[in-house]
Structure 1
């Protein structure tokens, strides 16, 4: 069963919400539903283990909701976007605002369940490998899921955090984009190497001067350089 993991479904299609709720509760998940982005933002979002978020809704879009969750509320809760849009630019927008996965409608319930299990499993796997990585005044704490520079917390998305941990844990070793995709996004998520570049660019900007330590080399990928 799902260890009573709590999931929020945000979609203005009531029939779809009902189908998702029924099937996910059958899998053992604790489900709540919001029929708009505005309604979702009124909930205690820190209590949820994952959010299924529709992009095209009346009123506030899913991308806007995700942006608020990440930038204003600063919550790392995994977000899976549900949308009929499937063009690469829309997918990149989803990842840019902190999405963890992207499922295009129409989809099968089995696919949704598989994606949810993969993301929750990945989060559990990370928590089993708790450690602290330190480089000068930059500290990455995998147990607290926290990055600090000079004692100040730096707010990263889940993907940015996992990429930084991967690079710091393999100091001075180049890791190819395909390997980063495999390690961070898993094989079950359809993304491109461009997603790696976008996340690296955002990560560099957020960690300030330490962004210069993340080096990219054509044909080799990225590494965190000691100097």
Structure 2
């Protein structure tokens, strides 16, 4: 995850260098786990204010992403840029920006990770944005407009799956539900959702989840979200 101080757009060159080293370590970890794709957000998630001119930050990001992508290419790993919504980043917030960065980096193993939760906020036409990715779509996240499971929001999943078929996407569908925690008496202040003692989650990840009004959810609740995703998506891809 791109928590602070990880940031390819940082004004501090040492910070950018450390971020590149971190991303290379993620590539190595991915290989060790038998993975094929690393998702990359160019700057710190939650950073909303630039620290240099747009031209300078863009140049730093192009250089940093290129170094990471070329390192990954040598090891047979693809890198997928994920645009986020404007409330989580100011840099890459839509598909066109991601494709522009890909064009300038000029690494064949660099593509797009499409998260419909984020793009439903930023794109005027979600389906058109998905089609625009074409063969540069490397990864796709399953989550509805409210970050619940597909089918628990307003997104039109038959149209989304149809668009994925039209562009020839054969990659994974990564389940990424980040449900808000009900902190009211209605749900006993989250007791039915949260893991009471998340001992195996590092402090940075836990802080990130809480900053997004969520937390480490318990196995039963997450299983119900996964089942809901399967109920919605499987009939559409068979």
TM-score by length of 1: 0.31
The TM-score normalised by the length of structure 2 is 0.30
